[in-house]
Structure 1
Amino acid sequence: MLLRKANVLDGALALLEAEGLDGFTTRKLGAALGVRASALYRHYPDKRALLDAMADRILEEVSVDLPDGSWDERGTVLAGRLRQALLSHRDGARVVAGAYSAEPNTVQFGNTAVEILRSAGLPPEQAGWATTAVSHYVLGHTIEEQSRADLAARGTWTGKMDAFNDLEDQVAATAFDADPAERFAYGLRLILNGIRHELAQVRTASSAGS
């Protein structure tokens, strides 16, 4: 059997779905593809390179054909697409988090986000920082969403919530068991409001210097 790079990546994502990130090994992937694990290294030199490629595949459609609109409308769509892409793969957020991949889809996502913010008036450095802040929010939120789903699948989520409620924990009462999509949208609005404040300061400084 001729092992193609695309077959390795498809197999890796299928294994991720079956085993989760904690159970993902190149040995298991090789077995699933009917080859020795060492055969994978013809296409990916190590597990990190394979995970980077998986992260890039997860981001494949996120930046494609964004609708027209204001910077915040486009940013909201982009962040929402990122969340949905991460949620569409088991442990997708954990795979993408910390990848720092230079693969094309990952680079396109970052460049698209930065360009949205630069076109709104943020200087390049601040646009990069703001993109990082939003990306970290989406990743962190989605990691928690997927962890909650995993706990629910194991049947342990209800017990954890009961323990929090016994302690009258206000975070648990108002946030942990709320609709994740609503909490995500609320947190994203907070961040976008912060970016609006930054834009207003940039415009004020520009007017004062002219």
Structure 2
Amino acid sequence: MSAPGSAEWWTDLAGERPKLSRDLIAEAALRVLDGEGLDALTMRRVAAELDTAAAALYRHVENRDALLVLVVEKVLGEVDPAVPPGGWRERAEWFARGFRAALTRHPAIAPLLVSVPTLGPNALKAFEGGLRVAAEAGFPDELAVASCQAIAFVVRGFAVLQAGDIDPLVVAAGSLGGVAPGALPKVEAFSADAQPTQADELFEFVLASVLDGLAARFLAVTGREPG
């Protein structure tokens, strides 16, 4: 056995594999998800990623459903809850863009956004950040919660749409597929000259529209502009 603190001792430490934990399992699962997709995300595959037996995982994670929850929670941990100072709208935009960026880095997560509960610490920290932005702008409690949910729905919806094989965010010019000429004159006129709408541009448009609506609702409820 090498002496503690010797070069050999440090080399031995570097070669040791850390003990399994839920966090390490979640990290490995996210690597599998990013590299191979959702269908490949199994307990056996994650165990192989960690160079261990599948049975070892079950001591920390009950089943695949629990694994999926941990993966979503891991991605939500990339959303920075520390929203910078500024006006309500700028802070809300910053939060929404940061949330979207985290989901965009892991496109295979999209199907889980509508099927996995998000009540873990990271998810709640992100929600806390959004609520803080609304509360500090003077939003009443119910409107603050609704505003956070509305922004989250926009971000999640775009993530799900963009993850599809056919991207509905892009309007392709001239694709009227089988519609008789003259049957849809407005669509035909638009389609003849339309340029593809990029996802980023459409996201910003929808986000701005939602924030406009929230500001109008705030004004109607409080009689003033959000701070």
**TM-score, normalized by length of structure 1?**
0.80
1:125 deviates by: 1.7
The question of whether the paired residues in 1 share the 8 Å contact of 2:81 and 2:130 is answered with no
Indicate the percent of aligned positions where both proteins have the same amino acid: 27
- The answer to whether residue 134 in structure 2 is matched with residue 117 in structure 1 is yes
Distance 2:147 2:194 in 1: 25
Greater alpha carbon shift after TM alignment, 111-120 vs 31-40: 31-40
- Which amino acid is the alignment partner of residue 166 of structure 1? G
Where does structure 2 lack aligned partners over 5 or more consecutive residues? Answer: 1-16
Structure 1 match to 2:90: 73
The question of whether the paired residues in 1 share the 8 Å contact of 2:27 and 2:74 is answered with no
Distance 1:177 1:22 in 2: 31
Where does structure 1 lack aligned partners over 5 or more consecutive residues? Answer: 153-157, 206-210
- Which amino acid is the alignment partner of residue 201 of structure 2? E
1:51 deviates by: 1.7
Aligned positions of 1:171-186 closer than 5 A: 173=191, 177-186=196-205
Distance 2:116 2:65 in 1: 8
1:18 deviates by: 2.0
The structure that has the greater radius of gyration is: 2
Picking from 22, 26, 29, the partner of 1:5 is 22
| Structure having the larger proportion of residues in helix | 1
Bigger RCO (CA 8 Å, 6+ sep): 1
**TM-score, normalized by length of structure 2?**
0.74
Picking from 96, 108, 112, the partner of 1:91 is 108
RMSD: 3.1
Distance 1:176 1:122 in 2: 39
Picking from 28, 31, 41, the partner of 1:14 is 31
1:137-180 Cα deviation digits (max 9, x unpaired):
11011111122xx458xxxxx9x958944357849959994111
- The answer to whether residue 72 in structure 2 is matched with residue 61 in structure 1 is no
